[in-house]
Chains A and B, each alone.
Chain A
Amino acid sequence: KQEVTQIPAALSVPEGENLVLNCSFTDSAIYNLQWFRQDPGKGLTSLLLIQSSQREQTSGRLNASLDKSSGRSTLYIAASQPGDSATYLCAVRKVVKTSGSRLTFGEGTQLTVNP
């Protein structure tokens, strides 16, 4: 069974700092990995999707990397801002031969960026 772990569970940093969020998964036979952001009381917003054949994806100040063989992904946030404060969730989609593959989620890292 696929398990996804995110460390740390919570992180507090001063504004302007570069930071890394970690995600690890137990089964390397994944189809893709997706990073989401969730603001308090809101739904999940997709940030980056990395296909299993890719090593990284970038969007603005965000960079996500994927190392399938070691079962790890990192989300790098450059020059953090108070508006980046949210919970960041990592989810992996397992390879399946039939339709209906599912995402397995980590429990998230709660990020606070202090002004």
Chain B
Amino acid sequence: NAGVTQTPKFRVLKTGQSMTLLCAQDMNHEYMYWYRQDPGMGLRLIHYSVGEGTTAKGEVPDGYNVSRLKKQNFLLGLESAAPSQTSVYFCASRPTSARGNEQFFGPGTRLTVL
């Protein structure tokens, strides 16, 4: 089991550029999440998904879009990157309550927007 993996690990963008972050999990988890982590702000939820084909907004969704076309993948898109989106992005997944509810995180993507 690779667990939760994220691609890429690092990226530098110029303001206005677009990119997609890929998250993959091989644990057959129903729920998947995207967070950002910033100094002094803790972990904040951007978007999440409760199953294949579903997405929902979290606390800080503006400027981001997501898609979950396959159960194992959750994509986070930035259509027009801004310096305020410089952050470390974490993907996470968890099973349903019947399977324990423990949440697992990926290694993170460090994004810098110049």
State yes or no: do A and B come from one complex: yes
Return the chain A residue nearest B3 by Cβ: A43
Q: Does chain B have a CB within 8 A of A31? A: yes
**Contacts of B50 on A, CB cut-off 8 Å?**
99-100
Q: Does chain B have a CB within 8 A of A55? A: no
Interface of A is mostly: strand
Report the count of interface residues on A (CB-CB < 8 A). 23
In the complex the two chains form, is A100's CB within 8 Å of B103's CB?
no
| CB-based A-B contact count at 8 angstroms | 49
**Contacts of A93 on B, CB cut-off 8 Å?**
101
In the complex the two chains form, is B58's CB within 8 Å of A102's CB?
yes
Residues 23-71 (chain B) with a chain A CB within 8 angstroms: 31, 33, 40, 42-43, 45, 48, 50, 56, 58
| A103 CA to B104 CA, complexed, in Å | 12
In the complex the two chains form, is A46's CB within 8 Å of B104's CB?
yes
- Separation in Å of the A89 CB from the closest CB of chain B? 8
Per-position contact with B for A82-110: 1 when CB-CB < 8 Å, else 0? 00000001010100000110110111100
In the complex the two chains form, is B43's CB within 8 Å of A100's CB?
no
**Contacts of A102 on B, CB cut-off 8 Å?**
33, 45, 48, 58
4 shortest interchain CB distances as A-B pairs: A44-B105, A43-B107, A105-B43, A43-B105
Residues of chain B touching chain A, judged by Cβ–Cβ distance below 8 Å, are 4, 31, 33, 40, 42-43, 45, 48, 50, 56, 58, 90, 92, 97, 100-108
Residues of chain A touching chain B, judged by Cβ–Cβ distance below 8 Å, are 31-32, 34, 36, 41-46, 49, 51, 89, 91, 93, 99-100, 102-103, 105-108
